[in-house]
Structure 1
Amino acid sequence: MSVNKVVSVSAEMGKDFRIHAQLGNHLAFIDQPEAAGGTDKGPNPLQLFLFSLAGCIASIGRIAANQKKIELRGMKVNVEAGMNAAGLMGKPTEDRVGFQSFKVNAEIDADMTTEEKQAFLDEVCARCPVHDNIGKATVVEHIAQ
């Protein structure tokens, strides 16, 4: 295994559900809806996770298009993920706690056939680190201090 880049984020939560992190030059927030006890000042973690997948696919799409000299006028990426929320609520379930399936639908605005668009999306998803982490087992170590 060769690691030549490390990306890190440090997030902080206070007395409520609102969590913030300094992401480079950007201050980001996640929260919960008011109905769930939050203040609805930001997306919830699951929405942000799906946005990360959609955003990574679109970003890699732009990189790949530039490399291949494809005029990519735009790309709309929709991500849906299904889960059983019982586990995250502390209720007994046989299902895993996380998402059980993902569906990515990309509308690619470029002069390409449907087959070329599918091949392009397949390549983009193969190059997307977030897609890779979702699709393959990744070691996650967690340490309480």
Structure 2
Amino acid sequence: MAIKRISINAEMGSDYAVHAQIRGHNLVIDQPKPGGTDLGPTPLELFLFSLAGCVASIARIAAGQQKIDLRGMQVVVEGDLNSAGLLGKPTDDRVGFQSIQIAAEIDADLSDEAKQAFLDEVCARCPLHDNIHYTTVVVHELSAAGCIA
């Protein structure tokens, strides 16, 4: 089994903005004003956008493999969460999204049933969809100062 590790190095200074350079692309995650400087999406928005981007990218790959003329695709991802926990307030809910909904409009010469089957296959092949749908082990640790490359 070939395992590929994808690593992201993000840095935050004295404000809420978190910066990363990924393959030459400068990205910013920020919070809206007044707390942040609104330089970019929040981590939650970026998470949902990442899921939409993954679904669309896998759709493009699958369409090419299946010789489907995929003229375009609109993917809307919405997530519902109780923000009390992330704000440090007591809650019985988990801190993460309680549910995530993906709605896709597929521009291709397929019946609605074929479009649904295609979307089902795409979501089954999407690594981010998989990580959200199934349990993934996440480990966190404190790194010694100056040890992060």
Q: TM-score, structure 2 length as denominator?
A: 0.94
1:25 aligns with 2:43: no
The amino acid that maps onto 2:75 is: V
| Separation (CA, whole Å) in 2 of partners of 1:89 and 1:144 | 22
| 1:41 equivalent in structure 2 | 39
Question: In the alignment, which of 121, 124, 139 is matched to residue 123 of structure 1?
Answer: 121
Match in the other structure for 2:5: 6
Cα distance, 1:3 vs structure 2: 4.8
**Any residues of structure 2 matched to 1:46-125 within 5 Å, and which?**
46-125=44-123
**Structure 1: 5+ residue stretches without partners:** none
Q: Distance in 2 between matches of 1:20 and 1:89?
A: 22
**Runs of 4+ deviating beyond 2 Å:** none
3-state SS in 2 of match to 1:88:
coil
Find the residue that maps to 2:74 and give its secondary structure.
strand
The one-letter code sitting in structure 1 at the alignment partner of 2:76 is N
